[in-house]
């Protein structure tokens, strides 16, 4: 498995984890959990971009 594949997997995990936290926070009106979820999704998106850059270089 290449390094960019590992980065893609980590990115996917963070995005999924963030989505779950965001949804639970939204459903329970828990703003801090929702914010944490959005942060995890953003982190996953950045990791995804980094993996794409590594793959193309």
Listed by start position, the domains of the chain span 3-56
CA atoms of 18 and 9, how far apart (whole Å) = 14
pLDDT greater than 60 at residue 16:
yes
* Residues listed for the chain: 57
Q: For the segment 3-14, what is each residue's pLDDT rounded down to a tens digit?
A: 889 999 999 999
Q: Which residue reads 């914010």 in tokens?
A: 35
CA atoms of 8 and 4, how far apart (whole Å) = 6
Q: For the segment 23-56, what is each residue's pLDDT rounded down to a tens digit?
A: 999 999 999 999 999 999 999 999 999 999 988 8
pLDDT value at position 57?
Answer: 79
Measured CA to CA in angstroms, residue 37 lies from 23, 48, 50, 54 at distances of 8, 16, 20, 26
């Amino acid at each position: 498995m290449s390094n960019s594949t590992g980065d893609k997997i980590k990115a996917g995990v963070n995005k999924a984890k963030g989505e779950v936290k965001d949804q639970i926070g939204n459903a329970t009106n828990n703003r801090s959990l929702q914010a944490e979820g959005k942060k995890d999704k953003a982190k996953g998106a950045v990791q995804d971009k980094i993996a794409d850059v590594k793959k193309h270089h």
